[in-house]
């Protein structure tokens, strides 16, 4: 049984905090769980906190992009927060710029960004 | 067996009775240094070297890089290093090693055939020793240059905080991959440390830009974005702008500004700070 990443809910936002280095199977489980949870809890935003992740490979990089794509289809915004400098450098060296994913420095700023965009879309 | 004999010959040559060869050596070498070093110091150095050399030969050392020569090598390195620091040229250092040959020259006139053979062998060995001092000299230089370039690297990539939440890196000099790495690391770390969401890369001090430099710049900007901050490039001089366009480098959706002041104003606006000029204030 591989570990599953817990998905927490704060208001309209789902928070995924990844606390260990990811195995491929865990990543696939996460994608599945998250898609289900978004629909079940009618969330509007997802924050993925990777503060504790020290090692990334192209698979994890792609996972972040895939989650963002899945979320967008479900009309949910994804923000990746807390990326470490070393991780950012690795991703750049791997040639992954995570085009469709928005990022923020920490959880607080990520939540603030989501709330701002909720407000602007409410007004529209 | 032959090896043993030559060793004995060389030692015999170097321990000619009735002569203090080390002192004569020092005297000779002193002449070539034109009084820039005291005779006592020189004598002490060469005495030490002489003793080590005789000992190494007695143990059967054949060439500079053999195991028995390690003591001699250490002394030569030290000698070459101190001389370099005192401002002697490497050839002057080498010449003072070669001076030993001159000291032993009389052997060529009234020595036996064996002794002359030994002299030639010793001559070859001394040549190697001389070259070794030059090698050591170059190596010392190389080390100094490396340390300096490292220091320069650290000096030239400071990250400065311009405002709450706004940091900048003024880049001075060319961007190569090693420097990009350092700029990237220190900039990203500063983003984390200060919690800044606005970064400005100022390239006023970059003399020229080519596709490779641009590539490095783009990498840094992408990394900053991945961290969740926004990045502005400022200080693009007219010629640089022309070069960038001529080279067909695509900066895409990266914000660029002509001056650091413009970039700062934009960064402040993005982070929600309003600048208000007071009426009657001097400008």
Residues B215 and B120 in one domain: no
Residues B75 and B179 in one domain: no
Residues B9 and B83 in one domain: yes
**Contact across the interface for B227 and A106, Cβ inside 8 Å:** no
Write down the pLDDT at residue B199: 95
Domain membership of residue B282 (yes or no) is no
Domain membership of residue B171 (yes or no) is yes
Question: How far are the Cα atoms of B5, B15, B70, B71, B232 from residue B8, in angstroms, in the given order?
Answer: 5, 10, 19, 19, 75
Q: B177-194 and B113-155 are packed helices; what angle lies between their axes, rounded to 10 degrees?
A: 40
Domain boundary at B150, B178, B194, which? B150
Residues B18 and B141 in one domain: yes
Domain residues for B92?
4-150
B274 to chain A, closest Cα gap in Å: 19
Give the phi and the psi of residue B210 in degrees, each rounded to 5. Answer: -130, -175
Residues B177 and B115 in one domain: no
User: What is the number of structural domains in chain B?
Assistant: 2
Residues B81 and B196 in one domain: no
B-interface mutation test, from A49, A60, A79, A85, most B Cβ less than 10 A away: A85
pLDDT in tens, chain B (283 residues): 445 556 667 777 777 655 677 788 888 888 777 777 788 888 888 888 888 888 888 887 777 778 888 888 888 888 888 888 888 888 888 888 888 888 888 878 877 888 888 888 888 888 888 888 898 888 888 888 899 888 877 776 789 999 999 999 998 887 777 788 888 889 999 999 999 999 999 999 888 888 888 888 888 999 999 998 999 999 988 888 888 888 888 888 889 999 999 999 999 999 888 888 887 766 5
**What CATH code is assigned to A7-123?**
3.30.750.24
Residues B64 and B103 in one domain: yes
What the block records as the tokens of B253 is 């959706």
Write down the pLDDT at residue A13: 92
**Contact across the interface for B223 and A91, Cβ inside 8 Å:** yes
Domain membership of residue B276 (yes or no) is no
Q: Which of B188, B195, B219 sits opposite A85 (nearest CB)?
A: B188
Taking the mean position of all CA atoms in its chain, how far away is CA A88? Answer: 15
Residues B137 and B192 in one domain: no
Domain membership of residue B283 (yes or no) is no
Name every residue in A having a CB less than 8 A away from some CB of B.
79-81, 83-85, 87-89, 91-93, 97-98, 102-106, 109-110
Cβ atoms of A76 and A37 closer than 8 Å: no
Residues B165 and B144 in one domain: no
Using an 8 Å CB-CB cutoff, list chain B residues near A95.
none
Domain boundary at B150, B181, B211, which? B150
Residues B43 and B130 in one domain: yes
Using an 8 Å CB-CB cutoff, list chain A residues near B216.
none
pTM of the model as a whole: 0.65
Domain boundary at B150, B179, B204, which? B150
**Contact across the interface for A88 and B197, Cβ inside 8 Å:** no
Residue boundaries of the structural domains of chain A: 7-123
B247 to chain A, closest Cα gap in Å: 22
Residues B39 and B91 in one domain: yes
């Amino acid at each position: 049984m591989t570990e599953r990443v817990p998905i927490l809910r704060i208001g309209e936002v789902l928070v995924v905090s990844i606390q260990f280095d990811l195995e491929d199977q865990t990543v696939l489980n996460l994608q599945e769980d998250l898609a289900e949870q978004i629909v079940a809890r009618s969330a509007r935003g997802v924050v993925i906190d990777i503060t504790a992740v020290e090692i990334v490979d192209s698979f994890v990089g792609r996972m972040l992009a895939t989650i963002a794509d899945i979320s967008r289809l479900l009309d949910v915004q994804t923000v990746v927060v807390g990326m470490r400098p070393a991780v950012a450098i690795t991703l750049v060296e791997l040639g992954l710029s995570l085009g469709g994913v928005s990022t923020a420095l920490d959880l607080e700023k990520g939540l603030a960004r989501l709330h701002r965009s909720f407000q602007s879309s409410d007004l529209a | 067996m032959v090896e043993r004999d030559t060793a004995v010959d060389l030692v015999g040559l170097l321990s000619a009775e009735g002569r203090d060869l080390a002192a004569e050596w020092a005297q000779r070498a002193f002449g070539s240094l034109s009084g820039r070093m005291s005779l006592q110091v020189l004598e002490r150095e060469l005495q030490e070297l002489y003793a080590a050399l005789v000992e190494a030969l007695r143990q059967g050392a054949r060439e500079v890089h053999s195991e028995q020569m390690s003591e001699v090598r250490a002394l030569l390195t030290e000698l070459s290093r101190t001389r370099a620091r005192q401002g002697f040229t490497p050839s002057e250092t080498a010449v003072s090693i070669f001076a030993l040959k001159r000291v032993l020259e009389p052997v060529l006139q009234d020595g036996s055939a064996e002794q002359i053979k030994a002299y030639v062998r010793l001559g070859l060995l001394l040549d190697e020793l001389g070259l070794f001092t030059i090698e050591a000299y170059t190596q010392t230089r190389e080390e100094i240059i490396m340390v300096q370039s490292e220091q320069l690297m650290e000096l030239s990539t400071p990250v400065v905080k311009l405002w709450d939440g706004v940091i900048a890196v003024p880049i001075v000099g060319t961007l190569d991959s090693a420097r990009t790495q350092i700029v990237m690391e220190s900039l990203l770390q500063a983003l984390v440390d200060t919690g800044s969401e606005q970064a400005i890369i100022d390239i006023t001090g970059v003399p020229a830009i080519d596709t490779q430099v641009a590539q490095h710049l783009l990498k840094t900007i992408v990394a900053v974005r991945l961290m969740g901050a926004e990045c502005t490039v400022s200080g693009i001089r007219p010629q640089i702008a022309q070069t960038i366009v001529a080279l067909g480098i695509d900066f895409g959706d990266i914000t660029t500004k002509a001056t650091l002041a413009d970039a700062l104003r934009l960064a402040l606006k993005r982070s929600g700070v309003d600048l208000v000029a007071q009426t009657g204030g001097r400008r």
